C-alpha cells in the first residue's frame, strides 16, 4: 500500500512527543509482527489512543490502520488525514462496510487496530468487549495482538480538560499473539481476550510511576485508590451521554 500521508504524520507525532518530553514505558513490542497481517486490540481510555497505539507498533516498523468512528472522517482537518493514512471509518448504524474494508486490509497483510470496548472507558478499567475483534481475526485467519495503554487519559479524555503539560509517562504494554479460529466460540474467545488484557492493564498500572498517580488521582481507577468513577458509575454516565446524543438527533 502506498503511504504518502502516514510517514510525515508519524514524524510530526514523534517530534511532538519530544517537545512534550513524554517518558515511554514500552514492553512486549516485539510481539507485533514485522510482516504479515494481525488485528491489534487496544484498550480505550483517551481520544488520542490511536496515535499512541500506532506509536507502539513503530519498533516493528508497522503502520497500523485503525478502525475509528465515522464522525472523525467528517472533520475538515482530521478527515483528510485519516483517509490519507488508510484508517477505516466505522458507521455504527451500518458496520458491515467497515468490517469488509478491515478484512480487505488484513488480506493485504496490514495490521488493523481495533478498540474492542468501542468507546472510551470513563472508569479507566476495561468495559465489556464486543465480539467483532475476534470474529474479524478468525475470518481473516490472523492473530490478535493485545495492547494496553496507560497514561494517555491524562492528556485528553472524556469529562476532563486537555492537559498537554510536559513530562508525563506513557505506558504501552503488548502481549503475546492470540490465535483465534473459525471453530472457536466468539464469546469465549472474547472473554479470553478481555481477561488477558485485564491482567496486562493491572500489571501496567502497578508498574506506572507512583509519583505520577498518587491516591485520589482522577485518572486512577477507584479500585486502585483513585477518584475515577467506578465501572457502575461510568455506565450511568455513558447512558446519560447516549440519551443526550439521541435527543440532539
Residue 244 lies in a domain: no
Crossing angle of the two packed helices 186-207 and 132-140, in degrees rounded to 10:
110
**Reduced to 3 DSSP states, what percent helix, strand and coil does the chain have, rounded to the nearest 5?**
45, 15, 40
Residue 246 lies in a domain: no
Asked if the model's pLDDT at residue 2 lies above 90, the reply is: no
Residue 227 lies in a domain: no
Distances (CA, A) of 230 to 6, 26, 80, 225, 234: 37, 27, 37, 11, 6
Residue 185 lies in a domain: yes
Residue 222 lies in a domain: no
Residue 234 lies in a domain: no
Q: What is the CATH number of the domain that holds 76?
A: 3.40.1130.10
Q: How many domains does the chain have?
A: 1
What pLDDT does 96 receive?
Answer: 86
Residue 97 lies in a domain: yes
The pLDDT tens digits for 118-171 are 999 999 999 999 999 999 999 999 999 999 999 999 999 999 999 999 999 999
Residue 248 lies in a domain: no
Average pLDDT over residues 35-45: 98
The pLDDT tens digits for 88-101 are 999 876 678 899 99
Asked if the model's pLDDT at residue 4 lies above 90, the reply is: yes
Determine the 3-state secondary structure of 224 from DSSP.
helix
Distances (CA, A) of 54 to 214, 215, 237, 248: 28, 30, 29, 33
CA 106 to chain centre: 18
> And the C-alpha cell for 136?
474479524
The pLDDT tens digits for 186-222 are 999 999 999 999 999 999 999 999 999 999 999 999 9
Domain that holds residue 69: 6-214
Amino acid at each position: 500500500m502506498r503511504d504518502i500521508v502516514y510517514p510525515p504524520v508519524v514524524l510530526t507525532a514523534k517530534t511532538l512527543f519530544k517537545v512534550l518530553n513524554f517518558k515511554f514505558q514500552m514492553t512486549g513490542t516485539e510481539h507485533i509482527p514485522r510482516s504479515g497481517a494481525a488485528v491489534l486490540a487496544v484498550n480505550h481510555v483517551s481520544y488520542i489512543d490511536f496515535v499512541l497505539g500506532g506509536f507502539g507498533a513503530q519498533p516493528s516498523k508497522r503502520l497500523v490502520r485503525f478502525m475509528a468512528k465515522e464522525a472523525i472522517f467528517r472533520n475538515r482537518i482530521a478527515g483528510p488525514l485519516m483517509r490519507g493514512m488508510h484508517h477505516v471509518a466505522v458507521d455504527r448504524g451500518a458496520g458491515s462496510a467497515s468490517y469488509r474494508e478491515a478484512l480487505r486490509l488484513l488480506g493485504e497483510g496490514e495490521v488493523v487496530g481495533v478498540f474492542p470496548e468501542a468507546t472510551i472507558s470513563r472508569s479507566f478499567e476495561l468495559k465489556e468487549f464486543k465480539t467483532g475483534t475476534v470474529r474479524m481475526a478468525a475470518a481473516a485467519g490472523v492473530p490478535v495482538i493485545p495492547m494496553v495503554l496507560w497514561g494517555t487519559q491524562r492528556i485528553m479524555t472524556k469529562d476532563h480538560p486537555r492537559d498537554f503539560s510536559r513530562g508525563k509517562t506513557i505506558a504501552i504494554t503488548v502481549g503475546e499473539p492470540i490465535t483465534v479460529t473459525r471453530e472457536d466460540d466468539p464469546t469465549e474467545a472474547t472473554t479470553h481476550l478481555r481477561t488477558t488484557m485485564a491482567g496486562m492493564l493491572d500489571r501496567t498500572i502497578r508498574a506506572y510511576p507512583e509519583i505520577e498517580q498518587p491516591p485520589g488521582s482522577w485518572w486512577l481507577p477507584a479500585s486502585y485508590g483513585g477518584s475515577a468513577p467506578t465501572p457502575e458509575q461510568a455506565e450511568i454516565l455513558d447512558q446519560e451521554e447516549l440519551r443526550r446524543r439521541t435527543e440532539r438527533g
